[in-house]
Amino acid sequence: MTSQAFPEPRKYPVEHIWHADWSISAKSRWVAKARRNTSGWLIYAIEPVGLLNQFRQSLSQYGRDHALWLGLDMPVGFVDHWYDGVNIQDFKSLLDIIFTGKWDSFSDVCTNPDEITHHRPFYPKTARVKGSVKREHLADALGVSSFDKLYRLCEGATYHRPAACPSFWTLGANQVGKAMLHGLEHLITPGYRDGFNIWPFTGDLSTCCQQNGVTLIETYPGEIYGWLGIDEVTKSNHKSRTLAIATLIDYAVGNGIEINTAVAADIKSGFGPDEGKDDAFDALVGALGLILIADGKHPEYLPDRPIIRKREGWIIGMDIGSLKPRTK
């Protein structure tokens, strides 16, 4: 599918944009890949992430000669007050030591409330009996007055979408903590040690694009739906995805985004009814959202607050003014 020709905006000098919908399950990890061309962008692949070592190596190889953004649909950062409980200054300092020494059990999700500590804050592993695990267990063990105190600022409800799920809580359909742990261990930490930028902890997008290299960026496809005009989509429903695809194709054609013929055929089918294809859908949505930001058609919206830039991180493109007031 060929886009309309139009001048290339180029707000940020990024040449490759990938977006991965992350999961602990390999069949649910999909990545959409795009690169700049003479008329704008080409989405040339939407495929499984595959073997993780090979995926990181591929990122590194592209990053040697190009600026590459990898959007990640998972939290990147922790709630501000948690760092004080472990005497860690910021997220980058944590990445220097995580999964080593006294941090070697950090990724072990707790089964019982008495196992929860600041060095092992993820809970619960399972709900063995209905009602046997409570959100209060986590809040009490981490020394906060309520479960709501475990949300990062960017995870709160907005006027456009409900609240996300705090990363430390690992129960329920919308939990993200287990995927975050997997991504931390297999991509973010080794990538950081290999020299990957991590937005916003390395700096804003302009800073991250000053030279070739890989920049990891937290995204939330549910936030991007509204930018692309598909607010009403139910991504897990094949029919709903298929209807939304028509809007996405119109968006691509009107914004200088060409789609590889084979990829376009898969897209037009709503990615098919198979399990995991909603993750491929979100990978596409994430890539389109990052292209929109790269071309200056949607703001980066990075708040100038130290706790966000050093500790909590932020969801790219999310306007802090869209957050609903929190109850005290």
Which tens digit of pLDDT belongs to each residue from 132-182? 899 999 999 999 999 999 999 999 999 988 888 999 999 988 899 999 999
Helix (H, G, I), strand (E, B) or coil at 281: helix
Q: pLDDT digits over 232-287, tens only?
A: 888 888 888 888 988 999 889 888 899 999 888 888 877 877 656 789 999 999 99
* Strand positions, DSSP E, 4-51: 16-21, 30-37, 40-48
C-alpha–C-alpha distance, residues 22 and 14, integer Å: 22
Q: Lowest-confidence range among 9-23, 123-137, 180-194?
A: 123-137
Would you say residue 2 has pLDDT above 90? no
Residue 162: the pLDDT is: 86
φ/ψ region of 229 (left if φ > 0, alpha if ψ in -120 to 50, else beta) reads left
Helix (H, G, I), strand (E, B) or coil at 241: helix
pLDDT tier, 85 (very low <50, low <70, confident <90, very high otherwise): very high
C-alpha–C-alpha distance, residues 14 and 324, integer Å: 33
φ/ψ region of 47 (left if φ > 0, alpha if ψ in -120 to 50, else beta) reads beta
The side-by-side arrangement of strands in the sheet containing 213-218 is 197-198, 213-218, 67-72, 16-21, 30-37, 40-48, 257-259
Is the pLDDT higher at 249 or at 328? 249
Is the pLDDT higher at 275 or at 107? 107
Residue 167: the pLDDT is: 95
pTM higher than 0.85 for the full model?
yes
